[in-house]
Amino acid sequence: MTEADYIVVGAGSGGSAAAYRLAEAGHSVLVIEAGGSDAGPFIQMPGALSYPMNMRRYDWGFQTEPEPYLGGRVLACPRGRVVGGSSSINGMVYVRGHAQDYDHWADSGADGWRYADVLPYFKRMEDWHGGDGSDWRGQGGPVHISRGARENPLFDAFIEAGRQAGYPVTEDYNGAQQEGFGAMEATIWQGQRWSAARAYLRPALATGRAKLVRGDVARVLFDADNRACGVALQDGREIRARAEVVLAASSINTPKLLMLSGIGPAAHLAEHGIALRADRAGVGQNLQDHLELYLQYSASLPITLYKYWNLPGKAWVGAQWLFARKGPGASNQFEACAFIRSRAGISYPDIQYHFLPIAVRYDGKAVAEGHGFQTHVGPMRSKSRGWVKLRSANAQDAPRICFNYMSDPQDWEEFRTCIRLTREIMGQAAFHPFLRKEIQPGADVQDDAALDDFIRAHVESAYHPCGTAKMGRASDPMAVVDPHGRVIGVEGLRVADSSVFPRITNGNLNAPSIMVGEKIADHMLGRSLPAGNQEPWMHPDWANAQR
């Protein structure tokens, strides 16, 4: 296991998908993963989602620098250090993104990545269980996508409240119409997490042409012609690639590995004594994420998940899941959602909601006293940009990370709008039987200054980092890879993860990351799927109406 046609660094969403397609085409592939097994209930039980991302066993444990616009707060930046990567520790929410996200990619230099170009890849990867056949959805692909049962009445109350507030209801936000309130989709099948490891890596290994290698990559190796020919591991092993090396190590570790290999901003590499191989100013730059607020409400009826928030309740949920793959543990509990526009003149949604029938933080802490529920809400397209930099030339050292969250003044305006629109939605008649009072921010937090103080203290990452090796034309000085995923300035090296996103997409990033792995693999194999011709729904009066 020291040589293969292709080396893929990272067994996560993009890497597993690329490895599967390369192996399926008859090539030998070595997938290198730093983390261990994804076996066990903490990962496989959807309802346990808050555990793995807070367990050092499964998570790289990255943290940001003190964020200058959040009063110096240090935020967690979980990334999966486990087979399946972040798809093994995420919230399992499945969102493709909006058609205009990908059209923007193409307009900014990612030729061949319009929505019409990527839609066939979304369809190829899907095994959709949301209804009978749809021109917009795929069936029979590797990734199972399901919808929760919505047994808790709060889910339907949220959707109905959106309708009462004047917003559309969408049958499928991953289909023709993203805008509106509706059922949320998840990578869950038969009560279990359906990660990239289940969807792609295990089938790839089953071909016999893909092998999994455990180890931490130190840098990419190059031959005399500046062509990637393998990787060096931190333990001294060297693994060779006859054809190409693919980095799919996350938007945090991929730029780190590029820089350790001499590809990046020349001055920054010189600071650390790293010989320059390709001067690419964009490596580690353009870092983006989604931030969100948890707006929490106390419930007037004892119908929330709080009834299980004790030892006997958790034991009952765990037993139901363990023996029957049923009950609350079989759902991520994100079963209703919304995508809306913040104001007239914005052509497609720029705010996302997740609804959760318990008041709790994503890390499982700070449960509200008694029964409650919450909406996670945040803007989709912040103009703030951060960076990933080397801490040192030692591959064992974690990189430095700064998102510069809330550095653009418009972010503050957008978050205040999020809070005010949410209050209007939660005030609709659909919630009258269920809502007792607003817990957080609290009814007394009203003016801009008070809202800004709340935002600064309570805003959290949605854990969607991307953009640190952006895709574009070779003439773009900030582009790191070309539209085929090839690293500009060297040969035989590609990137196939969320690092390549020119701009963050609407919603959660697992689905687009898998799609990138699928499409980059096809570029490597010299093939492509024919473009789609579907026309996505747009609000007919978006220029003049907010809803």
The span from the CA of 417 to the CA of 351, in Å, is 10
Say if residue 500 carries a ligand binding annotation: no
Query: Given 98, 354, 464, 523, which residue is catalytic?
Result: 464
Helices (H) and strands (E) in the chain, counts: 13, 25
- Running DSSP on this structure, what letter comes out for residue 93? B
Q: Find out whether 66 and 404 touch, Cβ atoms under 8 Å.
A: no
List, in sequence order, every residue forming a beta bridge with 427; answer none if it has no partner: none
State whether the Cα torsion 412-414-415-419 is positive or negative: positive
Q: Find out whether 230 and 363 touch, Cβ atoms under 8 Å.
A: no
Angle, CA 535 vertex, CA 532 and CA 539 arms, to 5°: 155
Which phi and psi (to 5°) does residue 417 adopt?
A: -60, -40
Go through 54-84 and write b for each residue having 16 or more CB atoms within 10 A of its CB, e for each that does not.
beeebbbebebbebebbeebebbbbbbbbbb
Say if residue 507 carries a ligand binding annotation: no
Residues 6+ positions from 265 with CB-CB distance below 8 Å: 279, 280, 281, 283, 284, 285
Q: Which of 523, 522, 515 is nearest to 484 (CA)?
A: 523
The span from the CA of 496 to the CA of 14, in Å, is 6
The span from the CA of 34 to the CA of 477, in Å, is 32
- Identify residue 209 by its one-letter amino acid code: R
3-state helix, strand, coil in the chain (%, to 5): 30, 25, 45
**Where do we find the tokens 């969102």?**
95
Which phi and psi (to 5°) does residue 366 adopt?
A: 60, 50
Say if residue 95 carries a ligand binding annotation: no
List, in sequence order, every residue forming a beta bridge with 435; answer none if it has no partner: 299
**CA distances for 42 relative to 38, 51, 80, angstroms:** 9, 6, 13
Tell me how crowded residue 150 is: count the other CB atoms within 10 A of its CB.
17
Query: Phi-psi region for residue 210, left (φ > 0), alpha (ψ -120 to 50) or beta?
Result: beta
Say if residue 91 carries a ligand binding annotation: yes
User: What number of CA atoms fall less than 13 Å from residue 109's CA on the CB side?
Assistant: 18
- What is the DSSP code string of 336-401? EEEEE-SSTT-SS--EEEEEESS---TTS--PPSSSEEEEEEEES-----BEEE-S-S-TTSPPEE
**Span between the terminal Cα atoms of the chain, in Å:** 57
3-class DSSP state of 110: coil
Q: Is 272 a catalytic residue?
A: no
- Identify residue 475 by its one-letter amino acid code: S
The span from the CA of 495 to the CA of 249, in Å, is 9
Q: What residues are designated binding site?
A: 82, 90-93, 217
Active site residues: 464
Q: What residues are designated binding site for FAD?
A: 82, 90-93, 217
